[in-house]
């Protein structure tokens, strides 16, 4: 039964995807920093500090929600795979 390799491959792919999106996020924030530092050339839409704070808080909340979904999704997938493995094991080891 080659199910373990497939599962590990899936987990690896999920964590690679998470890493890629983290890097993308970092790059975006770097770009934003550069844009605000080069404020003379690049006028960002006039957002007040309060608005910026709210935007940042909202994106933090969204990030938290996304990671919660990821954790629950992973747990559900793992649970399902374990259940299938146990059922198959019960069928074939009789």
Q: What is the pLDDT of residue 79?
A: 95
d(C-alpha 14, C-alpha 53), whole Å:
31
Dihedral angle at the C-alpha atoms of 58, 59, 64, 68, nearest 10 degrees? 100
pLDDT tens per residue, the chain (94 residues)? 455 677 778 778 877 878 777 888 788 888 877 766 665 555 556 778 888 888 889 989 888 888 888 889 999 999 999 999 999 999 988 6
What's the maximum distance between 2 C-alpha atoms anywhere in the chain? 75
Dihedral angle at the C-alpha atoms of 60, 65, 66, 70, nearest 10 degrees? 140
* Verdict on whether the full-model pTM lies above 0.95: no
d(C-alpha 75, C-alpha 11), whole Å:
11
């Amino acid at each position: 039964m080659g199910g373990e390799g497939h599962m590990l491959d899936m987990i690896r792919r999920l964590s690679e995807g998470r890493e890629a999106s983290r890097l993308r996020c970092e790059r975006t924030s770097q770009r934003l920093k550069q844009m605000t530092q080069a404020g003379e050339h690049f006028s960002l839409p006039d957002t007040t500090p309060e608005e910026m704070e709210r935007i940042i808080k909202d994106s933090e909340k969204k990030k938290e929600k996304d990671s919660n979904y990821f954790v629950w999704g992973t747990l559900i997938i793992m649970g399902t795979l374990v259940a299938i493995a146990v059922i198959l094991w019960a069928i074939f080891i009789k």
